[in-house]
Amino acid sequence: MTSLPPRPGSTTTQPLRPASPAPRTVQRSWAGVLRQELFASRGDGLVSVLLILLILASAVGLLRWAFGQAQWAVIQVNTTLFAVGRFPIEQQWRLWLLVVLVAALSGTSWGLLRAFPRADRSGELWPFNDRLAVALLGFLAAWLPAALALGFPLQLRWWAITGLLVAMRWIAGHWGRSWPPRLLKLVSLGWPLLYLFGMVLIAGGLGMSRVSPSNWGGLLLTLLMASFAILLSFPIGVVVALGRRSSLPLLRWSSVLYIEFIRGAPLITLLFLGQNILGYMLPGGWAPDRVWRAAWVLTFFCGAYLAEAVRAGLSAVPPGQLEAARSLGLSMPQALQRVVLPQALRIALPAAVGQFISLLQDTTLLSLIGLLDLLGTARTVMANPEFLGKNAEVYLTLAVLFWCCCAALGLGSRALERRLDPTHSPA
Instruction: Report the interface residues with other proteins, using CB under 8 A.
Output: 77-78, 80-81, 85-87, 89, 212, 214, 272, 275-280, 283-285, 290, 368-372, 376, 379-381, 383-386, 388-389
Smallest separation, CB 209 to other proteins (Å): 13
Largest Cα separation within the chain, whole Å, is 82
177, 111 Cβ separation under 8 angstroms:
no
Smallest separation, CB 299 to other proteins (Å): 21
Pick between residue 95 and residue 184 the one whose CB is nearest to other proteins: 95
Smallest separation, CB 369 to other proteins (Å): 7
Pick between residue 92 and residue 106 the one whose CB is nearest to other proteins: 92
Q: Classify residue 89 by its DSSP letter.
A: G
Pick between residue 104 and residue 368 the one whose CB is nearest to other proteins: 368
Smallest separation, CB 270 to other proteins (Å): 14
Smallest separation, CB 205 to other proteins (Å): 18
365, 334 Cβ separation under 8 angstroms:
no
The one-letter amino acid code at 9 reads G
The per-residue b/e assignment along 49-61, b for 16 or more CB within 10 angstroms, e otherwise, is eeebeeeeeeeee
Smallest separation, CB 276 to other proteins (Å): 4
* Residues pairing with 208 in the sheet: 205
State the first-to-last Cα distance of the chain, in angstroms, to the nearest integer.
Answer: 43
How far apart CA 380 and CA 88 sit, in angstroms, is 18
Pick between residue 78 and residue 355 the one whose CB is nearest to other proteins: 78
Smallest separation, CB 214 to other proteins (Å): 5
Neighbour-count burial of 40, counting CB atoms closer than 10 A to its CB (0-12 exposed, 13-18 middle, 19+ buried):
middle
Smallest separation, CB 288 to other proteins (Å): 12
Smallest separation, CB 384 to other proteins (Å): 7
Write down how long the chain is: 427
Smallest separation, CB 82 to other proteins (Å): 10
60, 24 Cβ separation under 8 angstroms:
no
* Residues pairing with 85 in the sheet: 216
322, 371 Cβ separation under 8 angstroms:
no
Pick between residue 357 and residue 366 the one whose CB is nearest to other proteins: 366
How far apart CA 65 and CA 393 sit, in angstroms, is 10
Pick between residue 171 and residue 368 the one whose CB is nearest to other proteins: 368
Pick between residue 161 and residue 381 the one whose CB is nearest to other proteins: 381
The per-residue b/e assignment along 16-36, b for 16 or more CB within 10 angstroms, e otherwise, is eeeeeeeeeeeeeeeeeebbe
Pick between residue 10 and residue 76 the one whose CB is nearest to other proteins: 76
Smallest separation, CB 212 to other proteins (Å): 7
Q: Classify residue 41 by its DSSP letter.
A: S
- The Cα angle at residue 151 between residues 150 and 152, in degrees rounded to 5: 120
Pick between residue 169 and residue 290 the one whose CB is nearest to other proteins: 290
Neighbour-count burial of 389, counting CB atoms closer than 10 A to its CB (0-12 exposed, 13-18 middle, 19+ buried):
exposed
How far apart CA 352 and CA 359 sit, in angstroms, is 10
Pick between residue 129 and residue 276 the one whose CB is nearest to other proteins: 276
Pick between residue 121 and residue 379 the one whose CB is nearest to other proteins: 379
Q: Classify residue 23 by its DSSP letter.
A: P
* E strand or H helix that includes residue 125: none
Could you tell me which residues come within 8 angstroms of residue 159 by beta carbon, excluding any fewer than 6 positions away?
141, 142
